[in-house]
Chains A and B, each alone.
Chain A
Amino acid sequence: MRWFWIDRFVEFVSGDRAASVKNVVLAEEAVDDYFPGFPHFPQSLMIEGVAQTGGLLIAETSGFEQRVVLAKISSARFESIVRPGQQIRYEVQVQDLQPAGAIVTASVQCDQQPIGSFELAFAILGDRFGSVPLFAPSELLRCIRLLRLYDVGVDKLGNRLTPSPYLLGQRTDGSRMLPEEE
């Protein structure tokens, strides 16, 4: 099973904001087994959905070269639940972006109704955490394409985003990395 808790991006403005959607289906173990007899989408996984949307939003600012991890859930408020057959919309806004990390706020909606609001902090891992990438660039690019980020992603001027040289396995001099280097 893949740890995908968003289905696709529907909006993505580099370094500023992103929106993604997630369809909730009864066939998912997390929905069926979480609360037997009362299937609904676990709220903890909504935080993961926001983290995936926001984490990719922050990582994109470095061409996905920097390692971004969820570091802190500063606040999480839930107002309602989401049941099978509904679609969740995650909207994430960058509030602060620093070399060491970033802060985002997020809202979760379903059928135009508020479901929750969050404030999360991401850490950007520096050298003291080693230099091994969290994901191989080619695998990361595959996942980003599955999430259709490049279908909707634009920079702040509205220009369409394209895969960064890092994701394409290119060194800064333009040459291609060997597979074992990825």
Chain B
Amino acid sequence: MTATTEEVFQKVQEALVEALGVDEEDVKPEATMIRDLGAESIDFLDILFRLEKSFSIKIPREELFPEDILTDSKYVADGKVTPDGLEMLRQRMPWADFSKFQANPRVQDFGDLLTVQDLCNYVQSKVSAN
């Protein structure tokens, strides 16, 4: 199955509007999931479930939430992700934009890294691989 960038964005937007109760116009590519759209942890369960159904894909949770890296003392020091850790994150999440996060890679800020565009990129990569 192939899907255009626009189709992917529309379906992601639909999932976010339904799961978060936000207005369609608030779901912009640059919006962050937590700070801008107000997603809470339980919402991600809802969002990913809707995306799986909508695109007929499976989303392993660790691909979006690399808890194992962020809690590994090899990759975290003084509450910040180390250069090795950043490299691991980039490999795990090649669709994510780390440019802002890497300036001050505090683990506590990681949750707000994910944008709507990142999510679209991720879904596009899964759909293309199908």
Contacts and interface: CB of A to CB of B under 8 A. Distances in A.
A66 to B, nearest CB: 15
A130 to B, nearest CB: 16
B42 interface: yes
Contacts of A121: 42, 45-46
A50 B63 CA distance: 32
Interface string A87-106: 00000000110111111000
Interface string B33-50: 000000001110110010
A101 B42 contact: yes
Label chain A's interface by main secondary structure. Answer: strand
Contacts of B43: 72
A76 interface: no
Given A72-B43, A121-B42, A103 B49 contact: yes
A72 B49 contact: no
Interface residues of B, number: 10
Contact of B41 (A95, A96, A100, A102): A100
A100 to B, nearest CB: 6
A98 B46 CA distance: 11
A100 B45 contact: yes
Contacts of B41: 100, 123
Contacts of A96: 45, 49, 52
26 contacts: A72-B43, A72-B46, A74-B18, A74-B19, A74-B46, A95-B49, A96-B49, A96-B52, A98-B61, A99-B61, A100-B41, A100-B42, A100-B45, A100-B61, A101-B42, A101-B45, A102-B45, A103-B45, A103-B46, A103-B49, A121-B42, A121-B45, A121-B46, A123-B41, A123-B42, A123-B45
A168 interface: no
Interface string B2-28: 000000000000000011000000000
Contacts of A100: 41-42, 45, 61
A100 B42 CA distance: 8
Nearest to B21: A74
Contacts of B52: 96
Contacts of B49: 95-96, 103
